[in-house]
Structure 1
Amino acid sequence: MEHNLIVYNTLTRKKEKFEPIHPNLVGMYVCGPTVYSDVHLGNCRTFVSFDLIFRYLIHLGFKVRYVRNITDAGHLEGDNDEGDDKFAKKAKLEQLEPMEIVQKYTIGFHDVLRLFNTLPPSIEPTATGHISEQIEMVQAIIKNGYAYEVNGTVYFDVEKYVKEYNYTILTNRNLEDLLTNTRELGGQDEKRGRLDFALWIKAKPEHIMRWPSPWGIGFPGWHIECSAMSKKYLGDQFDIHGGGMDLAATHHTNEIAQSEACNHSTPAKYWMHTNMLTVNGSRMSKSAGNGFLPGELFTGNHPLLQRGYSPMAVRFFMLQAHYRSTLDFSNEALDAAEKGFKRLMTAIGLLEKIQVSESSSFGNLSEIKDRCYQAMNDDFNSPVLIAELFEVVRIINSLFDNKLTITASDLSDLKSFIQSFVYDILGLKDDQLADSDNMDDLMQIIIQMRNDAKKNKDFVTSDRIREQLNAVGILLKDSKDGTLWNKI
């Protein structure tokens, strides 16, 4: 297939022409969420970015098998059975079974991504649904001599691996520095080397999520699930592996090591990573108190937000930054993005009102289209594409004001251009309140936030949500069937 797509490969740290392993078929694996809590904005930025990539590859004519996993196994804080089982801890807190936690937050994850208008992946496997594949992979790694078992726990032997492979190929970190900065092995530590990590962990009696294995009752380590599932659905080698940049140093580094130890090949040809989020110039994090959830961003129910923003305005805001650049949230930046998004949607709405003429005087649409393709072909440069779209906005406004003319044929081409670049590639849509289906999804998130506030006896927040909704013309009504809403 003829194309000029260039992508930045984290593995080689340079831009390369995109050449899929199999002609016309692209295999893409993106690390999905761990579903024991609400999806955070960092996740959303990653999934919106790879939705853009998914959409553009489809637009170019590729068949894409997009695999995005769901982590629903009870991983611990450390490799050596340290810390709490995150799912069991959350289940105890909410008085639910662990798989009820999984179901609740998986549904919430899908609801949020639907609001962001992301396309569903081709396959969405779960870690708990692929225990046998993970066990088989661990067995193969042991057989090949790169893992060892101690008291029911299996560890990857990094020091053995580095004798034949480059363990830090993805990050280019110095191995000696890694060893220096890793804690000393204590007398009770089972691992042979400081960098060794768990492939399979022996379960304590109180551990809820557990499975039988050749090494006893236990559960998989975190990294093995992605290696096993990408291998099953995309083969030993596939085209694109993606995720947030925070995954590169440990999770993706260990994925490469596992796959090479099992299959004797690097799993992905191109590694792509999204950059971090900041808030008013500071890194977004729960501990810093400057992190907020998508629902809070939509409602404005957060101390750092002056008001709420629609999901499409937030998607537009995210796409205004290149996926490899830092994205800084501030009220001023969100306000500007919302104005830009509304300006774009307003102009598109004028297309049906433009009068056609016998000649066109607006210029050459093909030149603008070429520049749009050049932007997207340059490592999916959505900010440059959006800048080109505002040149089209200027043309549309001039056509509507009869300052320029356009033929029926050129108007049809212009509408097709908008369909391709605004809707199909950028994944934008007009999400005004008139979109009742989309609005209901958003309202269910807001109602759940209010219910959680009432449950926690935070009546100030509960009343604030009701009052702010009333101010924009939405009435909440509590009934025996739950909370209902309607426009005033």
Structure 2
Amino acid sequence: MQLYQSQQLKIYNSLTGEKEVFKPIHEGTVGMYVCGPTVYSNVHLGNCRTFISFDLVFRYLKHLGYKVRYVRNITDVGHIEDDADEGEDKIAKKARLEKLEPMEIVQQYSVDFHQIMELFNNQPPSIEPTATGHIIEQIETIRQIIENGYAYVSDGSVYFDVVKFNEKHHYGKLSGRNLDDMMANSRELTGQEAKRNPADFALWKKAEPQHIMRWPSPWGDGFPGWHLECTSMSTKYLGTKFDIHGGGMDLKFPHHECEIAQNEASTGHSPVNYWMHANMLTLNGKKMSKSTGNNILPREIFSGNNDKLSKAFSPSVARFFILQAHYRSILDFSNDAILAAEKGFNRLMEAIEALNELNPSAKSTLDIHSWKQQCYEAMNDDFNSPILIAQLFEAVKYINLVKDGKETLNAADIETLTRLIHAFVYDVLGLESEVKASAGAEKLEGAVNLLINMRNEARANKDFALSDHIRDQLAALGIQIKDTKEGTTFSI
């Protein structure tokens, strides 16, 4: 029997505003889609919180015995600045400023994203589709929406007719917005004259002559709207009805609202049973913002190279800090908060190490079964990681009492407690001990130094093609090498 058959998982559904018992469409299998990054800059800590939150969901569903297909996209075209329908594509703008090809920007920041996710010990999704790899599917979705009467062509662009859609459906049901209010409050933007209504949104945008990223379509050369890609890719890999759709709270409107509308307009029914949204991360009590300087990147946390923190912190400590708050609550990141998290993390890891050294007694004074069920009750209550962590610290307290000879555990219970703590700490929460992380860092350093030695040998032999190839391949992985009089060093 699989664990999910004995555990009742409840998920807070953003669509209904209630916790609901989780019942997958197909027993034993789960389809989950999460909106991935727009790869035009380094992934910031707020984004990482969202992806760590859904990594927790992914891990726990698998722990319960579900077969999970986790799809998380890469947005590499179509995301206009300020989530509007007019203006410049974020990736195209970055490419213009950096004097690079758009796909160079995409590659650079996709690599950075994957490296950061790996450092945080996030498991990769089952499928990671890109928007540019699914242009045909997006064109077909637009065709279907036009055929069903919910979109129109205007000067080479295609817009979704929100007013027509709202006659039979409910546009705004996820975000709780009223269409009349949205229409009244819509900003007057350049290009609005192409729309029938100010609330209409682009499914396909006509490419101006200077626009680099463009594809042929029945309506002329252009590129897809940002909202469209997730509709096309989620339904391609998970079907027109699937279990879970997740993302950051900031995507609820307009992105997820538009996704629901596109799905209903093309298939006639709502696409998702459970909508999940991770809340925002603040820094020192204020919203994170690059423009104000109130911002910190994951690598700056790991290296200590920043003006916000007193020292460097490991990825596992940062992950532990994030999981100490429920994914739906606002979390404030500060020096004091992560210092406290580091102390807690170290206490937890020391207790796990102490488990291996406990002397068994004839009987136990700990009710393992009750403790175990409390751990599952925490995770079954909408993936409540802070309550699970609190239960783990109850076990830490007990382990220390056993170590001091004030409580007892028999051999069977020591084995059970070890197995359960390892399952919850390593498999479900996805934490790594500092010993393991340090060993991984040592292996990486050894591998890079081996490549540096090969490069030095190639340079000595005047094989500059091989030398440059090694340097460029390391750079593509985010590893920069620097030649000095004292020798060659590298940085990540």
Residue from 366, 386, 390 that aligns with 2:389: 386
Cα distance change on mapping 1:367 and 1:443 into 2, 3 Å: farther
Residue from 56, 59, 73 that aligns with 1:52: 56
Residue from 475, 483, 486 that aligns with 2:489: 483
Q: CA deviation at 1:407?
A: 1.8
Whole-Å Cα distance in 2 between the matches of residues 477 and 199 of structure 1? 44
Does residue 408 of structure 1 match 2:387?
Answer: no
Residue from 413, 423, 428 that aligns with 2:426: 423
Aligned to 1:111: 115
Aligned to 2:21: 17
Does residue 367 of structure 1 match 2:374?
Answer: no
Q: Deviations over 1:92-113 (max 9, x none)?
A: 3333221121111111101101
Q: Deviations over 1:158-216 (max 9, x none)?
A: 01001111101101112222111102477971000010010001111111111111111
Q: What secondary structure, in the 3-state scheme, does the structure 2 residue paired with 1:350 have?
A: helix
Note the 1:235-384 alignment, pairs <5 A: 235-361=239-365, 363-384=366-387
Cα distance change on mapping 1:482 and 1:32 into 2, 3 Å: farther
Aligned to 1:97: 101
Aligned to 1:85: 89
- In structure 1, stretches of 5+ residues that fail to align are 445-475
Does residue 437 of structure 1 match 2:440?
Answer: yes
Cα distance change on mapping 1:302 and 1:5 into 2, 3 Å: same
Does residue 168 of structure 1 match 2:172?
Answer: yes
Q: CA deviation at 1:130?
A: 0.5
| Matched-pair contact (CA < 8 Å) for 2:263–2:269 | yes
Aligned to 1:140: 144
Aligned to 1:64: 68
Moved more, 151-160 or 168-177: 168-177
- In structure 2, stretches of 5+ residues that fail to align are 448-479
Aligned to 1:192: 196
Cα distance change on mapping 1:229 and 1:482 into 2, 3 Å: farther
Q: CA deviation at 1:279?
A: 1.6
| Matched-pair contact (CA < 8 Å) for 1:74–1:88 | no
| Matched-pair contact (CA < 8 Å) for 1:433–1:439 | no
Whole-Å Cα distance in 1 between the matches of residues 155 and 207 of structure 2? 11
Percent of pairs with identical residues: 59
Cα distance change on mapping 1:439 and 1:74 into 2, 3 Å: farther
Q: CA deviation at 1:84?
A: 2.4
TM-score, with length taken from structure 1: 0.89
Cα distance change on mapping 1:186 and 1:306 into 2, 3 Å: closer
Q: CA deviation at 1:66?
A: 0.4
Q: What secondary structure, in the 3-state scheme, does the structure 2 residue paired with 1:189 have?
A: helix
Q: What secondary structure, in the 3-state scheme, does the structure 2 residue paired with 1:353 have?
A: coil
Partner amino acid, structure 1, of 2:115 = D
Cα distance change on mapping 1:116 and 1:189 into 2, 3 Å: same
Partner amino acid, structure 2, of 1:356 = P
Aligned to 2:461: none
Cα distance change on mapping 1:372 and 1:114 into 2, 3 Å: same
Q: Deviations over 1:385-410 (max 9, x none)?
A: 10010010011112222222222211
TM-score, with length taken from structure 2: 0.88
Residue from 127, 130, 148 that aligns with 1:126: 130
Q: CA deviation at 1:358?
A: 2.5
Q: Deviations over 1:31-90 (max 9, x none)?
A: 000011100111100010001111111111111110000001153337886322322222
Q: Deviations over 1:362-391 (max 9, x none)?
A: x11111111111111111111111001001
Residue from 154, 159, 165 that aligns with 2:163: 159
Aligned to 1:449: none
Residue from 42, 45, 59 that aligns with 2:46: 42
Aligned to 1:202: 206
Whole-Å Cα distance in 1 between the matches of residues 427 and 436 of structure 2? 22
Q: What secondary structure, in the 3-state scheme, does the structure 2 residue paired with 1:226 have?
A: helix
Q: CA deviation at 1:316?
A: 0.5
Note the 1:208-219 alignment, pairs <5 A: 208-219=212-223
| Matched-pair contact (CA < 8 Å) for 2:38–2:79 | no
Q: What secondary structure, in the 3-state scheme, does the structure 2 residue paired with 1:214 have?
A: coil
Q: Deviations over 1:329-369 (max 9, x none)?
A: 111111100100011001101111112222223x1111111
